[in-house]
Every structure is written in structure tokens, then in C-alpha cells.
Amino acid sequence: MSELIYLLAAVLFILSIRGLSAPKSARLGNFLGIAGMMLAIVTALALIPSERLLPIISALTTGAIIGIVSGQKVRMTALPQMIAAFNGLGGLAAVFLAAGEVAAAGTHYFASSIGLVIGALAFSGSMVAFAKLEGIISGKALSFPFQHTLNLLLFALTAVLFFGFAFLHSEWMFWLLTATALLLGLLLVLPIGGADMPIVISVLNSYSGWAAVSIGFMLNQTLMIITGTIVGASGAILAFVMTKAMNSSLIHIMLGGAARLRQTDKAAEAEKGTARSGSPEDAAFIMENAEKIIIVPGYGMAVARAQHVLKEMADLLRQKYHAEVRFAIHPVAGRMPGHMNVLLAEANVSYDEIFEMEDINRAFSDTDVAYVIGANDITNPIAKTDTSSPIYGMPVLDVAAAKTVFFVKRSLSSGYSGVDNPLFYNENTIMLYGDAKAVTEAVVKELEK
């Protein structure tokens, strides 16, 4: 009977993933996932002897409280950090379960070794990703001499220890394998820069899923195998989609960011020119007379929590000035896949008004105004021209093709990748300096007059 219930839970998980693939069905997908997890937990508890229930329920309750509190308090801009932390905890759980199997003198050495290695990579890599996203350490690519040689040696040592423990069952090999895998996870993520961070999060999510699969085989838990496979496969697919969208290489990123270690000083050496600045009054006047407007949100919008006033501005332009207003979303806008979509959905922006990059990029040449709010790297034309740039090859939104480009930013500072944006100095670009929310609110006040 329990296997049938687990099968039903697995079906709910699959339907949940399907629902989360589109904004309109995401809410339903989330509820289906919650229902599947609750069903699985209740069924698992029913199979546990009563004398063992108290510590398990205590642990579940503690975890639930932490999850509820953190879910309610986390800022929308901190969601990537939260996801990285949760990925890491999933990997750490796999490490603990593998250690428990060794301590109990279990016989599933091969499965526990796989779970240990993948889990350790997911944990230490996720902690580095968390630290980069939170600003604890620099978000730029951190490299040192002979880095890839050291990684290769650690790969080789990990492989030797893996097979050594799997066949010889030596406990000291297990603990040395744990330390080696943890160190390797750190060194693989440190050299990955901010431009690739959404891909890293997807890869680490996939790691935690495959770690769960291995532990599922170790514990003979069918549901863990199924759900781990779903998480691992969906994370891998998302990572592949993100690398394709950024014209990057998944293999290079998984091997420690080799594809993005190029550095350049060309942008800094080039003559920047003078950036024109404007006022909210200037922006309102030009947009009042515009027929087509495209809004490009970025991470700065998320930091300023400007999505609601942005929605207000878009509605006002349509209703009072009869302008066609659309939103353009870059696949990696923000610091995780779908970051901007989530924010705009929170502000009740209609899904019909939001367009992915490939669906709207050509429309910029026929657009009167591009209103770029808090975005930088995803509009940087250097990605198309400078072969030595860390972001070279990444597709960008062609906002420069619009008749007028308004950039809402606090300063002329570079984006998360650390690359200067020459678009700031174009003749058709007007900088609107200040907090994204405050500037947009000022524009709205002018439009209301």
C-alpha cells in the first residue's frame, strides 16, 4: 500500500514540475508539490515504529519552523542565496546519511560513496555560491596559479579514494574522500563569476537531486530515488537551457568556470565619452509622446523593490497616453532563473505583457523608449564585440536600438560581472541616477500631472 501512495506522491511531484514550467500554472504547481511532499511524509511516518517517532517528529518540527520563518522573512532579492543554502543542506544531508551507513557497518558501499561525493560537492559548492551572492566574498571569478591543475589532481584523488572505499571498505578512506570532495566543491565554484551564477545554482540543485538518488538506493527508498531523479533531471535540464541562453559551456562551468576566466581591460582603456544625465521630468515628457515602450527590469529593480511602482507606471502609460508597453526579460536577469518573472508576477503584471528575450529583441529597433531599470550586464554590447570579455558570447537585450534609452542606476558602476557598459555613453542614452523605486515614483508623479 505504501508503494502505491509513494507512486501517487511521485506523480504529484511530476505534475508540480510541469506546473512550475509556466508562470500561469506556477501557483498550482507549487500546491501540487506541497501536497505530494505532505503525502510522502505522512506515509513514511506511518511506517516507523512508535518508539522511534519522537526524535523524528522533533527534527521535522524544527525543520518546518526554520523553513516557515525563513520563507516569510527572506527578501525577494535574497531568494538566490536561500536556494543555494537549501541546495547545500540537501547535499549535507546526503553526507550525513552516508556517514551513518559507514558507522552502522552497512553494506551499500558503492551507493553511499556516490551519495557522499555528490553531496559533499553540492554542500561546499553551495556555500561558496551563498557567500558570493550574499557579498561575504567577492562575486567575481577568483582564480590562482595552477588552479585547474590542482582541480585535476583532486579529481584523480577523489576517483582513487572512491573506488578504494567502495571495494576495500576502509573507514579512513571514507573520511579522506569526504574532505577531498568538500575541498573540490569549494575550488570548482570559486572561479565562477557572477555572470554564470544562475547556471551554478541550477547545477548545484541537480547535484543535490542525484545525491538523493544514491542515498535512496542505499536505503532502499523508492520515493527518494524517484524524487531525487526528478530534482536531478530538472536541475540539469534548467542548467542546459541557461547555458544555451548565455552561449556558455556547461562542461566548462562544472569544471570550475574555465569558460569565463578570460579578463579584459579593453573597455576600461577605451575612451568612454560623456554620459548624459536627465531628470524624471525629462523621462515623463518623452514617454508621454511615445507610442511603443519596452521596460527592461534587472537586479537593481529587485533591490529597490520597484516592481509595484513600475506596474503603476506601465498602466498609466497605457490608460492615459495609449502607449504600447511591454516588459522584456533576459533569461539570467537577476541572480537566479526566473527572478524577474517572480517579481513582476508579485506586482500582478499580466503574463501577456512579459516577453522573453528571443521574442522581443527585434522589436527594440521599432521602439520609441527603452526604460532599463537596474539592469546592466544583460544589456552590455561588449558581450557581442570583445572576445576577451568575461561576458563575451552571452546574448544581450538590444536596447541600444531604441530611439531613446533611459538607464535607471545609482551610478555608472559596472555590473555584477565587473565589466563596464559602453551603452551608458551612447548619444541616445539618458542616465536617470538614483534609487530605482524613487526615480520611477518621480516619473509616475510627472505622468499623472
Amino acid identity at 89: L
d(C-alpha 403, C-alpha 415), whole Å: 23
Partners of 356 in the β-ladder: 329
Residues 6+ apart with CB under 8 A from 363: 292, 294, 326
d(C-alpha 379, C-alpha 400), whole Å: 8
Element (H, E) at 211: helix 197-219
Q: Could you give the 3-state DSSP secondary structure of residue 7? A: helix
Q: What are phi and psi of 82, to 5 degrees?
A: -65, -40
**Cα–Cα distance list, 248 to 348, 383, 389, 396 (Å):** 33, 12, 13, 13
Q: Could you give the 3-state DSSP secondary structure of residue 339? A: helix
Question: Can you say whether the dihedral through the CA atoms of 378, 382, 388, 389 is positive or negative?
Answer: negative
Q: For residues 242 and 198, is the Cβ–Cβ distance under 8 A?
A: yes
Residues 6+ apart with CB under 8 A from 433: 277, 409, 410, 411, 439
d(C-alpha 232, C-alpha 229), whole Å: 5
Between CA 81 and CA 5, with CA 27 as vertex, the angle to 5 degrees is 95
Residue numbers annotated as active site = 377
d(C-alpha 26, C-alpha 32), whole Å: 10
**Cα–Cα distance list, 119 to 36, 165, 202, 215, 390 (Å):** 24, 16, 15, 10, 29
Q: For residues 398 and 330, is the Cβ–Cβ distance under 8 A?
A: no
Element (H, E) at 327: strand 324-329
Residue the block writes with cell 513582476: 344
Q: What DSSP character marks residue 336?
A: S
d(C-alpha 32, C-alpha 291), whole Å: 42
User: The C-alpha cell of 316 is what?
Assistant: 498609466
Overall size of the chain counted in residues: 449
d(C-alpha 343, C-alpha 348), whole Å: 9
Alpha helices in 246-398 (DSSP H): 250-254, 266-269, 280-288, 299-304, 307-321, 339-346, 357-360, 382-385
